[in-house]
Structure 1
Amino acid sequence: MDDAAAAEPEPKKLRQDEQEPPASREGDGDGEEKLDHISRMPDDILGSVISLLSTKEAARTRLLSSRWRHLWRSAPLNLVVDRRLSGRERDRVAIVSKILATHHGPACRFSLAIGAIRLRRDLYAKFDGWFRSPALDGLEELQFYGGCNPLPPSALRLAPTLRVASFRDCGFPDVAAVPALRLPRLKHLKLPGVAISEEALLHLLAGCTALESLELQGNGLSTVRIVSPTLRNIAVYVSYYHKSDVVLQELVIEDAPCLERLIPLDSGDVPMTITVIAAPKLTVLGYLSSQIYELVIGTIIVKEMIPVSLTAPMRTVKVLVLESIGPNLDTIARFLRCFPCMEKLYIQSRFRKDMKNVGPYDILIDPIECLSLHLSAIVINTYRGMQPDVNFAKFFVLNAKVLKVMKFGVCGTYNEKWMANQQRRLQLDKRASRDARFDFERDVGGCWFSNKKHTHDLWIADPFDSSLCNCC
């Protein structure tokens, strides 16, 4: 048994009555054990299966049979350094060193969390050596959780082959240290808690010539400017990552011709300004909350969640996610005019007692395009069923002509009698779209705007739609 397998604990011996019977023999009497169907698969398929296992489980496959013994060394390497690898720090360090010394298969993923190993000067040098290991040549996915320590410079030698990278809670080298940094294959980049200068961030993005998705949070920058010809998704979490962080106050999308999704989430106590100068393909926008002091997209100006200027509407936005104090029908109607081709509208209500929602809206005299032609799905969260809520929702019931589904996230208890009363008050029998469905569900805390799980899943057209996945 080689060092990598030896580093893993042997399985417990079974009692005599628990042991498996001897394997059956082939009928021709050649003495070879009859293989199971899985073991008959080609090496490359079995290697792919092994790469999906945890590091510990993958190494243990060598103990299954002689058929599996050589597969561990040549399978795609999925090495995660955390406490699940071993309960003792010394053993974790030894196991990783042995694996990197003996593994000769392709490098798929390397995840190193310094929090799993107490940092000492000699260990930091060992981490640097791990990144220099030939076993990581061609690495595709890198996760480094630095525990407020700098990223080892040797990690950047892996830049040419990385497709996914997540650097968390660490310091990023300055421009002078990496003047020619290039990540030509990188598609997804996450930088939560990474201390980086504005110049270094621009330099990093310039070197990511295929980047599609970017996540920023707690980077010690008050202003972030984005220039990228390839970015399709930007997620910005503007809340504090550490209490001592400088909070992002201004996001400027200077030039992003391929940007489809702009997702500001978890806005903290500091008002934020978002300016979109050039993003002609923007399709998904939100979560927009009262913490966004000003939003400027082309000629659209929104201040404190109230559209105040609209010279030319933005016709590319199909999905809008926002907060509405009240909920406020006047404000939402203005947003509908800002984005006339909107197809999905998500609203997080923030209750206010003095909201009336009985303004004079005559759609025949002053039509709203998206209500007549495009708006097919609406979700209203924190729905209480009080008169302001009913007046607000009834506006869509009576005017959304192509509506297919309207969901109410009910805040508090409800039953069949309550829902029947709501259906009567909402005048569902007079709905503008005869094919519309109206669902009352329990409000689960606005999971569709706080869930970060699918932020970077570009194969999901609407990352806020929980019906598109099985995990929400």
Structure 2
Amino acid sequence: MAAGSRSSQARFLPNVFSLVPQAAPSLPSAAASTPGGDGVDRISALPDVLLRDVVSRLPVRDGARTAALASRWRGLWRTAPLVLGDNDLLLASDGARARPDAAVGRILADHPSPFRSVHIAHCSLTSGERELGDWARLLAAKGVQDLVFLDNPPLPRRAAAITRCASLRRLPADILRCASLHRLFLGTCAFPDTAGTPRGPDVFPHLKDPELETLALIISRMTKRIHLRGQSLKCMRLWTGVVEGLAVVDAPHLERLILWKSVGDYHHMVLKIGNTIINAQTKASPSCIVPSVKILALELNFGVSKDANMLTSFLRCFPNVETLHIVSSKAGEDTGRHHAKFWLELDPIKCVKSHINKIIIHEFQGEQSEFGFVKFIAKRARKLQTLVLVLTEGTFASVGEVCEVNSQLKALTRCSWAAEGCQVLLVGPKLNCTWSFARASDLSVKDPFW
């Protein structure tokens, strides 16, 4: 990887190895230049439709302030599609940091135009369910297209929510009636109770042909299975959530399936494709294959036989996966076996043989069970271009452990690889959390975690 990447890292190639700490990159600064002009206000001469589009792309404070520019601009913000991010409202008029709850409530209630994008991540919602219910009704009524809602409770409750996914605030059912959504991110909250909800085109989970492209549930508590139906759905992300099962019922254009960071029983979540429950013994068949998925991210313990078998079942059900992210977990009862024979005798897997070009193993610990999988990939993955092993913080902190991993990698690269010119990168843990739930679900980003 090039200098200036987001990781302290070591680059390992068959003939070159160097350990070079790298700092996190700073954001590029925009060059400030003001060309000379003739004093003519050409921007104000643009048609209203263009000016509204410009205003709607400004941060909410700046968009509202354009009304003070001139009479020409006075009504543009109120008639422009709203883009509201509560991070733009954190500073009070005296410059002090303030909760944006009241300002968000006023804007949602008073702005008459449709809501293009609403991102709420810094509100404490001290008045509780009533305020949240009002916001949900307004979002549904005004046609929000892009919604991010992260409940931001006081610190004691937030800590409990993150560690146990318990006592989370339940979203009101009105949030399900936002039928115009293209993207949805819900975090640190409990999904609305759909028991007894009438089915129909106005109820979000039961839309037959929704426009929804991205669904992300972040630190969310579920009590039932998630059923994915949607002709437009391209990305499903469940991150640090507790859920009994995920059923891919009808999502023919699903490109990304991201099951990331387990809490509690989530590590044993059930995946169902069509009418088939995917388990360690599942054999691939047309009824349980999703050919559209290109990026697959999941968590498993290479030292647990059930997890190793589940990984192969997943890979067979997603035959066209090109990028594979795995969190090497310690969850589950490690048998202590290396499973070398299992990987050696495994039948060919289509995506490994013909499609996977990048594999990243996060929290790599240098265990023999992990190297058993790496050796399997080295011998079977013909299209592999990059294999990245991201060391855990504990492993990276020990010079001896890093040297041991490096030694095993050197021995491995002397063997015959199925793919010529594959780069093997041994890297340290990320210095900052540059990947986020939004980036992981951004379809314009080729690799959301790297």
* Normalised-by-shorter TM-score class: 0.5 to 0.7
1:425 aligns with 2:430: no
CA deviations 1:153-200 (Å, max 9, x no partner) are 79448636321234554665558xx9xx96553212334425622144
1:84 aligns with 2:90: yes
CA deviations 1:18-71 (Å, max 9, x no partner) are xxxxx99xxxxxxxx8328986884666665554443444455677xx6x6743
1:163 aligns with 2:145: yes
TM-score by length of 2: 0.63
TM-score by length of 1: 0.61
The 5-angstrom pairing of residues 269-348 of structure 1 reads 269=264, 271-272=265-266, 291-298=267-274, 301-303=277-279, 307-310=280-283, 312=285, 314=289, 316=291, 317-327=293-303, 331=309, 332-333=311-312, 335-348=314-327
Distance 1:328 1:446 in 2: 30
Question: Residue 442 of structure 1 aligns to a residue in which SS?
Answer: strand
CA deviations 1:275-302 (Å, max 9, x no partner) are xxxxxxxxxxxxxxxx124333357655
1:442 maps to a residue whose letter is G
Distance 2:253 2:171 in 1: 26
**Which of 1 and 2 has greater Rg?**
1
The 5-angstrom pairing of residues 345-356 of structure 1 reads 345-350=324-329, 354-356=336-338
For the 8 Å contact 1:216–1:235, the answer to whether it is kept is yes
Q: Structure 1 residues 188, 85: closer, same or farther in 2, change over 3 A? A: same
2:224 maps to a residue whose letter is T
Residue of structure 2 aligned with 1:451, choices 436, 442, 449: 436
The 5-angstrom pairing of residues 119-130 of structure 1 reads 127=105
For the 8 Å contact 1:160–1:182, the answer to whether it is kept is no
- Give the structure 1 partner of residue 224 of structure 2: 223
- Give the structure 2 partner of residue 438 of structure 1: 424
Q: Structure 1 residues 139, 78: closer, same or farther in 2, change over 3 A? A: closer
For the 8 Å contact 1:143–1:166, the answer to whether it is kept is yes
Question: Residue 301 of structure 2 aligns to a residue in which SS?
Answer: strand
Distance 1:201 1:340 in 2: 37
- Give the structure 1 partner of residue 38 of structure 2: 34
Q: Structure 1 residues 338, 80: closer, same or farther in 2, change over 3 A? A: closer
Shift of 1:219: 6.7
CA-atom RMSD in angstroms: 4.7
Distance 2:433 2:186 in 1: 23
For the 8 Å contact 1:172–1:196, the answer to whether it is kept is yes
Distance 1:142 1:117 in 2: 13
Distance 2:191 2:385 in 1: 46
Question: Residue 141 of structure 2 aligns to a residue in which SS?
Answer: helix
CA deviations 1:93-116 (Å, max 9, x no partner) are xxxxxxxxxxxxxxxxxxxx9x53
Unaligned runs of at least 5 residues, structure 1: 1-22, 25-32, 93-112, 240-246, 273-290, 467-472
Q: Structure 1 residues 378, 131: closer, same or farther in 2, change over 3 A? A: closer
Residue of structure 1 aligned with 2:76, choices 74, 77, 96: 74
The 5-angstrom pairing of residues 18-417 of structure 1 reads 34-35=38-39, 42=46, 48-58=53-63, 70-71=72-73, 73-75=75-77, 76=80, 77-78=82-83, 83-87=89-93, 116-117=100-101, 127=105, 131=108, 133=110, 135-143=111-119, 146-147=125-126, 148-150=128-130, 151-152=133-134, 155-156=137-138, 159=141, 161-167=143-149, 169=151, 183-192=178-187, 193=189, 196-198=192-194, 199-200=196-197, 203-206=203-206, 209-216=210-217, 221-226=222-227, 228-232=229-233, 233-237=235-239, 239=241, 248-269=243-264, 271-272=265-266, 291-298=267-274, 301-303=277-279, 307-310=280-283, 312=285, 314=289, 316=291, 317-327=293-303, 331=309, 332-333=311-312, 335-350=314-329, 354-359=336-341, 366-385=347-366, 387-411=368-392, 412-413=395-396
- Alignment: residue pair count: 367
Question: Residue 129 of structure 2 aligns to a residue in which SS?
Answer: strand
Distance 1:69 1:459 in 2: 38
2:350 maps to a residue whose letter is E
- Give the structure 1 partner of residue 18 of structure 2: none
For the 8 Å contact 2:60–2:84, the answer to whether it is kept is yes
Q: Structure 1 residues 418, 131: closer, same or farther in 2, change over 3 A? A: closer
For the 8 Å contact 2:150–2:186, the answer to whether it is kept is yes
Unaligned runs of at least 5 residues, structure 2: 1-34, 152-168
Higher normalized contact order (CA 8 Å, seq sep 6+, divided by chain length): 2
Q: Structure 1 residues 194, 168: closer, same or farther in 2, change over 3 A? A: farther
CA deviations 1:347-367 (Å, max 9, x no partner) are 22236693324216667x944
1:405 maps to a residue whose letter is T
Of all paired residues, the percent bearing the same amino acid is: 22
